[in-house]
Structure 1
Amino acid sequence: MGHDDLAAACYALPVLVALFTVRFFYVLWRSGQPSSRPQAAGLRCLIVLGSGGHTAEMMNIVTTLQKDRFTPRYYVAALTDNMSLQKAQVYEESLIQSGEKKTVENAHFMQIYRSREVGQSYITSIATTLLATLHAMWLVIRIRPQVIFCNGPGTCFPLCVSAFLLKVFGLGWSSIFYIESIARVKKLSLSGLLLYKLRIADQFFVQWPQLQQKYPRACYAGRLM
């Protein structure tokens, strides 16, 4: 590389960094703002499920969605979670039986690696977190969701980060709706706290008024269960 090429690179690098920084803060500002674009008839919807009560709460939210608007629906659960996707499949099949939809083409069921298993050491979780993040990025690029619903399982964080990065790089735009679990009365879950502090979620809902007072950027939604 000649001196001219090196000089050009030295000038170009700060410009690229500046452009990336401007874009990053624009995405932070734009997230959560009302959309100026006309509402689409069908929105690709990514629904993050989780073990324990997360799936029950999320499926309760899914039942209230306008099915013709939030379609197709992509349900994602951890690779070691064998129950959550079954519950989603049962629900989607019930829609067919009730006549609300005629085919299963509007529902897709996918799995993702966990960032960290229960009881796993923090040292070994570094590698699994990296793997989960790469897998999440691949899924988000493949699906290109326009809406993401999540409520606290650890699998939601790498998915939301991946969707946010796609917005920063201009490769897609996802509106992220985070609904904190009703079990969180006094403090946020780790996933919720990270999404709140990093301002990744477009809309952040809590189900207890004391949480909204503690985290003023959150919206109090009342009890959803």
Structure 2
Amino acid sequence: MEELPLVVVLLLLLSSLIVPLVLLDRKRRGRQTPPFSLLVVAGSGGHTTEILRLLSCLSESYSPRHYVLADSDKMSEAKIRSFEQKRAETFSESQFSLDRIPRSREVRQSWVSSVLTTLYSILYSLPLTYKRKPDLILCNGPGTCVPVCLSAFLLGLLRIKRTIIVYVESICRVETLSLSGKILYYFSDYFIVQWPDLKKKYPKSVYLGRIV
């Protein structure tokens, strides 16, 4: 895929920038973390609706839930708060948080400028991912998930925190992957597609039929 070289270059650059985090982590190893914390990447349009449908099937064992959304996303926060408010009616100790990061790429943004904004978004995501240290990242295609997942991947390479990355391609993608999917296909632990044609083209993927 033509996007892969850019991702590799970014990883090499960033690996030299976050070495100080390793030293800081050694001082904090004795601190307890949640048993199975979940980081969820929300996105504008139908991405947030789809990801919340997936979350509704999960038990309260996946807690706390840390939501990450783009700073220019005006609609997802209201949907998330409404979802969590209803969930709290069933699970009284339900916990969640909301964080925002710069959008890595806007609609119709040039590829040249996208390199810089993506790099900036990854750098911004690193301290956030380090702070949350999720056990699992769940995402379904918004551009915001790329810097978040790559920062988690880097922390895993540096043996700071091993995070399982689960990517669920949108139901709208029937024959081709989204740009986010083309990149994260190489970095996710579980890559789930909802159409059989995608499974044929991408053998690493897991086909489960329609799940949202």
TM range (shorter): 0.7 to 0.9
Aligned AA (1:93)? Q
Secondary structure of the equivalent of 2:97?
strand
Cα distance in 1 between the residues matched to 2:116 and 2:146: 16
Q: Does 1:170 align with 2:163?
A: no
Residue 134 of structure 1 is matched in structure 2 by: 123
Q: Does 1:66 align with 2:59?
A: yes
- Give CA deviations for 1:8-29 in whole Å, capped at 9, x if unaligned: xxxxxxxxxxxx9xxxxxxxxx
Q: Does 1:51 align with 2:7?
A: no
Residue 20 of structure 2 is matched in structure 1 by: none
Q: Is the contact made by 1:48 and 1:77 (CA closer than 8 Å) also made in structure 2?
A: yes
- For 1:89-100, list aligned pairs within 5 A: 89-96=81-88, 98=89, 100=90
What fraction of aligned residue pairs are identical, expressed as a percent?
43
Q: Is the contact made by 2:34 and 2:64 (CA closer than 8 Å) also made in structure 1?
A: no
Residue 10 of structure 2 is matched in structure 1 by: none
Match for residue 200 of structure 1 among 187, 192, 201 = 187
Residue 125 (structure 1) shift = 2.4
Secondary structure of the equivalent of 1:76?
strand
Residue 33 of structure 1 is matched in structure 2 by: none
Runs of 4+ in 1 over 3 A off after TM superposition: none
Q: Does 1:112 align with 2:105?
A: no
Residue 91 of structure 2 is matched in structure 1 by: 101
Aligned AA (2:140)? N
Residue 127 (structure 1) shift = 2.4
Secondary structure of the equivalent of 1:138?
helix
- Any unmatched runs of 5+ in structure 2? 1-14, 16-32
- Give CA deviations for 1:77-98 in whole Å, capped at 9, x if unaligned: 11000111211111111122x3
Aligned AA (1:95)? R
Residue 73 of structure 2 is matched in structure 1 by: 81
Cα distance in 2 between the residues matched to 1:126 and 1:167: 23
RMSD, aligned α-carbons:
1.7
Aligned AA (1:58)? I
Normalised to the residue count of structure 1, the TM-score between the two structures is 0.77
Secondary structure of the equivalent of 1:93?
helix
Residue 103 (structure 1) shift = 4.8
> Based on CA coordinates, which of the two structures has the bigger radius of gyration?
1
Cα distance in 2 between the residues matched to 1:42 and 1:83: 30
Aligned length: 181
Q: Does 1:187 align with 2:187?
A: no
Q: Is the contact made by 1:42 and 1:72 (CA closer than 8 Å) also made in structure 2?
A: no
Q: Is the contact made by 2:190 and 2:205 (CA closer than 8 Å) also made in structure 1?
A: yes
Cα distance in 2 between the residues matched to 1:206 and 1:125: 26
Cα distance in 2 between the residues matched to 1:42 and 1:61: 20
- Any unmatched runs of 5+ in structure 1? 1-19, 21-39
Residue 102 (structure 1) shift = 2.2
- Give CA deviations for 1:185-214 in whole Å, capped at 9, x if unaligned: 001111111111xx2101010000111011
- Give CA deviations for 1:152-176 in whole Å, capped at 9, x if unaligned: 1111011111111111100001000
